[in-house]
Amino acid sequence: MSGPRLELGPAKEPLGLVRGLQWFFSIFAFATCGGYGGAVSFRISCNGQSNATVTASFAYPFRLNHAVFTPSLTNLCNKTWPEDVHLVGDFSSSAQFFVTVAVLAFLYSMVALGLYLGYLHLYRGAGGKLPLVDFLATVAFSFLWLVSSSAWAKALTDVKTSTRAPLPHCQPPAVACFPAGVTPMGSLNVSVIFGFLNLVLWLGSSWFVYKETNFHRPAPPPAAPGPAPM
């Protein structure tokens, strides 16, 4: 196996340029989703008298059914709530799937970009095997981005619904519950946008990788045999 030969030309071509964009935007996809943390708060009033503010904190991977309101509602309003109150729903599977796809896409695009820049002579001189593997991987990631982004977009809608739901057992005027705020989810909205943006990038790059395969660029014919020795 020959050593690396640094060539910056692919970075100026669509093949390498789009891979660089994929690497860049995949970082934002998993960072905006995996780095989120928020909380839901309610003000509780018992018999018209302000009593307490309760808060439930939640974060990635959004197992909201594990987020309990504190301080415990069981001690408020003459034990109106017989047990601790949690948020509703477990959306960890969609969130973790989305982040996993983003991390794997980040790693693959980084390795592929390194291959283009350092081993382009091997990439294009391997009998079409490496471009074919690259093409199949690109198509697979396009499909994964479609599925994971769609699943996460649906889960995010459910997360918003769950965090805006009223507290149970609130019956004014004896017990009144007033929403005190939910942490903005703008970064989560951005993560969905980056997910579908990555889908477009991977779909687009599949064409440029396809052009490197033998399906689009047939292998050169074998050299004609030389004249027989006298």
Is residue 52 classed as helix, strand or coil in its secondary structure?
Answer: strand
CA atoms within 13 A on the CB side of 130: 13
Phi/psi zone of residue 115: left (φ > 0), alpha (ψ -120 to 50 degrees), beta? Answer: alpha
pLDDT (tens place) for every residue of the chain, 230 residues total: 455 666 666 667 777 889 999 999 999 999 999 999 999 999 998 886 777 899 999 999 999 999 999 998 888 888 888 899 999 999 999 999 999 999 999 999 999 998 888 877 887 776 678 888 999 999 999 999 999 999 999 999 999 999 999 998 888 888 888 899 999 999 999 999 999 999 999 999 998 888 888 775 555 555 445 555 54
Model pTM score:
0.85
> CA-CA distances (angstroms) from residue 62 to 10, 57, 155, 183?
40, 10, 9, 14
